[in-house]
Amino acid sequence: MTTDDTAQGSQSKKNLSAQWSAVCGLLRAEIGEAAYQSWLKPMTVREIQAGEIKMTVPTRFMRDWIVAHYVDRLTELWAVENPDVKSIDIAIQSERDAAVAQPKKKPAGVEPAVDGAPSGKYSADISAPLDRRYTFEHFVVGKPNEFAYAAARRVADAARPPFNPLFLYGGVGLGKTHLMHAIAWHIRERTPKRTVIYLSAEKFMYRFIRALREQNTVDFKDQFRSVDVLMIDDVQFISGKDSTQEEFFHTFNSLVDQGRQIVISADKSPSDLEGMEERLISRLNCGLVADIHATTYELRLGILQSKAEQLAVKVPQKVLEFLAHKITANVRELEGGLNRVVAHAQLVGREISLEATQDVLHDLLRANDRRVTIEEIQKRVAAHFNIRVSDMHSARRARSVARPRQVAMYLAKQLTARSLPEIGRKFGGRDHTTVMHAVKKVDELREHDSSFAEDVELLRRMLEG
Ligand code: ADP
Ligand code: MG
């Protein structure tokens, strides 16, 4: 390296820190002193590389938070100061040190602290990343989830555990993970000094097993010992895994004894978790158990309205109502449905309409109509054409029974999620090619015979209820 290069290097370094002070000063004015102290002050500028500013922060949580809330604005402000700047990369200090260190030595600062000294950094690093959209602000509250929501907020606001553990349970896609992330974001924002760990039970188990294999379970325990809030998602995954449960039980007890908050989620209530040890169940039952119920129409509509707003797109009210009416299984599917409709409209450059929605979501809507059974279809169709239900299964080939049978097969294909062989079996053990033929035949007839088409349409409407 020549002297010139060094001079240039230190010159640009000086420029960078001057730029950072300017950018920082501007953002500080925008976000206020408290946020500045918590988030901007701990950031360190390292270098600029191909238009990318490299910065470091002490913990993963800080990184996640800054990325979620400030990095876009920081980049904008910096680009005004220095037009070369295109992006900002934020790394975690200890990881950067580890990558840079020549002899492979543990950098100071990542050693787990001894004797009760704060070791927040170490702990924060084992937390899984948080989804930036999963905040309380983005959570729509309604009858089915108001209790769970209120409990989560209580935990997030409280300095001491108001109940321990908070046990959230409910079916898939109803907002358990969302609420847990919201608690974590909230605490990190209000009291960044507190250590919050969020982990799936699977991850917890995986880390524990790895610690066992590497024979450093002491380290493993240390990681959790200094945690202020420990959240374990989907604990049903550790049911039946005895040694993991054992470890979990001990970690759990020692944290509770120290007055640290624990938040757990599962798909069932503690007592319904099969393969869980009795003593663990009774521990889990000790705090507050809050369930999230299946969504109602009103909640689904509210969620759709909020998501549409977040996407900043105009979705006609009747489309939202239609979706809320049709996609009832869970919020994840509901959201997925809306996203697909919006993406499609943007792709083809057309307004969102009810027609387009029905088209785009054909398969999803059909899956949500699964309530209709083949037996019901057979009964309805038999009644409509005035034949016996047993003729649906019989071998008779007279057109007077064969045609209604084909209509029933056709509707079974349209209205249920059954496969062709499954449908065949329900019609007296017929082959799937027979079903395929029926579907084709009915399609043909519908095209050429409008009164037949009306019949089929009428039946379909009655069955869809
Ligand atoms: P779970 O963990 O219970 O399976 P998630 O928390 O992952 O469910 O939720 C699934 C999706 O639905 C997420 O995108 C989440 O943001 C969304 N969601 C669930 N409930 C709500 C709600 N009440 N308000 C807004 N979004 C919600
Ligand atoms: Mg979840």
pLDDT, position 101: 56
Best mean pLDDT range from 78-82, 290-294, 346-350: 290-294
In the predicted model, is pLDDT for residue 167 greater than 90?
A: yes
**Which one-letter DSSP state was computed for residue 55?**
E
Strand partners of residue 88: 53
Place 12 in a pLDDT band, splitting at 50, 70 and 90.
Answer: low
Q: What is the mean pLDDT of the chain?
A: 85
**Residue % of the chain over a pLDDT of 70:** 89
Rounded Cα distance, 221 and 212, in Å: 11
Assess whether the C-beta atom of 335 lies below 6 angstroms from ligand 1.
yes
Per-residue confidence (pLDDT) for residue 114, from 0 to 100: 29
pLDDT, tens digit (0-9, with 9 covering 90-100), for 54-98? 999 887 777 887 888 888 889 988 988 888 899 999 998 877 777
**Across 384-401, average pLDDT:** 93
Please, are residues 107 and 97 in contact by the beta-carbon 8 Å criterion? yes
Half-sphere exposure of 367 (CA within 13 A, CB side): 10
CB 418 within 8 A of CB 374: yes
Residue 299 to residue 305: CA distance in whole angstroms: 10
- Is the CB of 408 within 6 Å of ligand 1? no
Ligand with minimal distance to 202 CA: 2
At residue 8, does pLDDT exceed 70? Answer: no
3-state secondary structure of 53: strand
Check residue 452 and give its pLDDT: 92
Position 258: which residue type?
A: Q
CA dist 421 and 434 (Å) reads 9
Out of 100-104, 259-263, 272-276, 344-348, least confident range: 100-104
pLDDT attached to residue 13: 65
Among 48-52, 147-151, 223-227, 341-345, top mean pLDDT goes to 147-151
Exposure string over 447-464, b if 16+ CB within 10 A, otherwise e: eeeeeeeebbeebbeebe
CA angle 113, 114, 117 (to 5 degrees): 65
CB neighbour class for 154 (10 Å; exposed up to 12, middle 13-18, buried from 19)? middle
Cα of 246 to ligand 2 centre, how many Å?
23
Whether the CB of 39 sits within 6 Å of ligand 1: no
Map tokens 């730029």 to a residue. 19
Q: What integer pLDDT is reported at residue 58 of this predicted model?
A: 80
Q: What is the pLDDT of residues 116-159, one digit of tens each?
A: 333 334 344 678 889 999 999 999 999 999 999 999 999 999 99
Rounded distance from Cα 175 to ligand 1 centre (Å):
3
Residue 320 Cα to ligand 2 middle (Å): 25
Q: Residue 298: which pLDDT band, with cuts at 50, 70 and 90?
A: very high
The greatest distance separating any two alpha carbons of the chain, rounded to the nearest whole angstrom, comes to: 99
Q: Confirm or reject: Cβ of 401 under 6 Å from ligand 1.
A: no
Q: What atom in ligand 1 is closest to the CA of residue 175?
A: 6
CA of 293 to the centre of ligand 1 (A): 12
With a 6 Å cutoff on the Cβ, whether 332 touches ligand 1 is yes
Query: What pLDDT was estimated at residue 97?
Result: 73
Ligand 1 centroid to residue 174 C-alpha, Å: 5
Provide the pLDDT confidence category of residue 14 given band limits of 50, 70 and 90: low
Atom of ligand 1 nearest to the CA of 145: 23
Residue 438 has pLDDT above 90, yes or no: yes
State the average pLDDT over residues 401-412: 96
Q: How far apart are the first and last CA of the chain?
A: 79
